[in-house]
Structure 1
Amino acid sequence: MTTTTLRACPRPVTLRPTAAPEPPALDEGSVRELYAVARHGLRRPRAVPSYVQGSLAIDFRARDEDPDFGPQATLRTDLPEPAVWVHRLLHATLESVTGVRQPHQLSRWMIPAVHATVVRRHRVAQRRGAAVQHTQVRRVRVDEPVDGVVEAAAVVVLDGRVRAVAMRLNGVDGRWLLTEMTIG
């Protein structure tokens, strides 16, 4: 005869309600107090919850910029169509990189670091004295990861070679501003 041993059954699972997973909202008084401390250092603020769920808090402004009068982020609804804008800006930038267009024409649409890269490549093209190459933008893919931010990938023909270009544009002061660009 076979003997079967029974194992003790664990306790049944009990479901209990928990507190809401969202962090508490700041009331109007807390917000005023935080601004007063940040601007004037009047007194220490109350503890602000560091946990933020459901959003990605990114501030693209530099630390030394004035929050009221410095560059202001612009929402997507207040900006032109990104696909058309990326295509035009990319074509103009490629013309500048090959020496056809002066890079100072694009300075309003780029941050200084990207503009310096374009100027450097423009000068190299001018020194080479290469014949004017026809640039062609074959395909552009645009993605909007966050409101007011566009990331684009493009396939272009530059100097007779097919290359990839990656770009990131941010909405600043009612216009698209090129903040990152890599030409492969």
Structure 2
Amino acid sequence: MLRRLISAMAITAAAVLAPAAAAAADDGYGPGEPPCFLAFTDQTVTAGEGFGYTIACESLASETVTVQAAPEGQTGTVDQEVEVAGTSAETFTLDEEGLAYVDVTVSAPGDFNFQVLDTAGDPLSEVFTITALAAGDDDNGGDDDNEGGLAVTGSSSLPYLVIAGGLLVLGSAAIVATRVRVRRS
């Protein structure tokens, strides 16, 4: 009887944990996740007007990082199209919480990529893209849903949670059925 109960609990635990492991594998996150990210005040800006973003690298508190800005599709420095304190790449020292706030201006319309790099030039973040509109453009051709918030990334874990909940109920029912059968015997 005890063996059956332990077996049923082990099978139930495996069934519940399997979707969680699959969800974690689906994310693509883990030990290789970049330590930094950029949070923009707005993903769509007007060329010639300033906007801000925050560099967040919690594990690199008080370290020096470089933010590189380039027109989409290009790597390396830009030809004076993006002004980040007068250059296309600027070095910042993070505070004790690993944060830095930056004000920049994009001087030409287009899509621009921003990325955090370490002092050796190795990437510390994913590439983040902002869109600069020409002065006077109201973005009528774009999404009306976009109110300048951060982009949604990652996967939805709802299907995995529903499956996990169903397996939990099924495992609990199996345990109850086993107990009832053992009592009747």
> Is the structural similarity TM-score above 0.5?
no
TM-score range, shorter chain: under 0.3
- Using the size of structure 2 for normalisation, the TM-score is 0.20
Where is the strand percentage greater, Structure 1 or Structure 2? Answer: 2
- Using the size of structure 1 for normalisation, the TM-score is 0.20
Q: Considering Cα pairs closer than 8 Å and 6+ residues apart, tell me whether 1 or 2 has the greater RCO.
A: 2
